[in-house]
Every structure is written in C-alpha cells, then in structure tokens.
Amino acid sequence: MSVIPIIVCSDNPSEQSKIARCVAFDQEHVIESSYEQLERCLESYPTATVITSWLTPCAELRATIKISSSKSVPLIVFIRKFNLNTFNNLPDPDGYLLLPSSVDCDFNTWVNRAKQVREKQIELTSEIAHLEQKLEDKKWVDRAKGLLQKFHNLSEEQAYGMLRKAAMEQSLSIAQVSENLIAALQKSEQS
C-alpha cells in the first residue's frame, strides 16, 4: 500500500511545525511547505492531503483553497481566530473542511473526513457536468427536431425517428447528429 503524504502549510512557522509533529504520530510521510512552495509540492505529490493553519482568512489562504480545489486534493483548513466572519471571508467550504484550531482531534480522523468531502465534491461536480451536458444535448435535439418538423412537415416522433436513424447509421449520438444538422443548415444559409 502506498503512503499518501500530508502537506502542512501555515502562515506561522512554529504553528506549522507543531501541526507537522502532531500529524506525524498518525501519518508516515509529512511534508512542511510554505505557501510559496505549495503548488510545486502538490505537483510532486498529487495525491497528498493538505492541512493548513492560518490566523485569519486572507488572500493567501483563499489561494491555497483554490489551488487545492483545482488539484482535487483533500484540504483541512484550521483558523486560529475563528469567528462568524470566517465563513464570509472564505469560499464556501465545498470540498474542504473548515475548522477552528481549538478542535482537539485525532488528525487521522480529519484526514479521512477531508478525503471523503473532496471525493463527494468531485462526484457532485462530475454529476453536474454530466447533467449540464445532457441538457445541452437535449437543446440540440429539440432544435434539430423543430427544424425537421418545420422544413419537412414531420411530426415530432417522425423528426426524432429520423435523427435516431441517422445517429445509428453514422455511429454518433443523436445530439451530435442534431448539432451536425444545424451546422449544415447554417452553412447552407450563409452560402
């Protein structure tokens, strides 16, 4: 079983070292990283989990959250001066854990929870993209059906049947055939 590294990043070097020591009790591979080194670290360790500790929300922390999200790595954010404004000054905790640093914890538990949260966020993002694509495909099909109905006096079922038959003959999706049909009609109108 491969060892998944933990990257610890903080705005305070002594806080960073303290967290790294605590995490080392449960984890085999702990890396301390400055904010400036974080992106390079994640390129070297793309499966890492990131644990951060910041005094208050700031631009660097927001960038750290953005980097972790773009790399799809689990992230735990500890805030040492946690208050109600903390939530207003950071991106929605979608895909990462946001905790006050006063939480007394077994880091292993939080690392596992951060992985679950990130996996769920990736799954939801993928599902949203899939649904958006289905909606876009439906728009193409509906538009192509409408054009076939208008220009060939077909019923909706007949127009859909033509698109479906063309899709099977061309080994394409109905949406792709619809998009190609619309593109061809637009091209012929321009000529």
Q: How would DSSP label each residue in 104-121?
A: ---HHHHHHHHHHHHHHH
- pLDDT at 131 (0 to 100): 96
**Residue pLDDT tens, the chain, 191 long:** 457 799 999 999 999 998 888 888 777 789 999 999 999 999 999 999 999 999 999 999 999 999 999 999 999 999 999 887 887 888 777 788 888 887 666 777 888 888 888 889 889 989 999 999 999 999 999 999 999 998 889 999 999 999 999 999 999 999 999 999 998 888 877 77
- pLDDT at 49 (0 to 100): 92
User: What are the backbone dihedrals phi and psi of residue 30, each rounded to the nearest 5 degrees, phi first?
Assistant: -115, 130
* Distance separating alpha carbons of residues 109 and 106, to the nearest angstrom: 6
- pLDDT at 184 (0 to 100): 87
- pLDDT at 171 (0 to 100): 94
pTM exceeds 0.75:
no
Q: Is 77 exposed, middle or buried (0-12, 13-18, 19+ CB in 10 A)?
A: buried
- pLDDT at 88 (0 to 100): 80
Tell me which DSSP letter residue 3 carries. P
- pLDDT at 66 (0 to 100): 92
Q: What is the pLDDT of residues 123-160, one digit of tens each?
A: 998 999 999 999 999 999 999 999 999 888 999 999 99
- pLDDT at 187 (0 to 100): 82
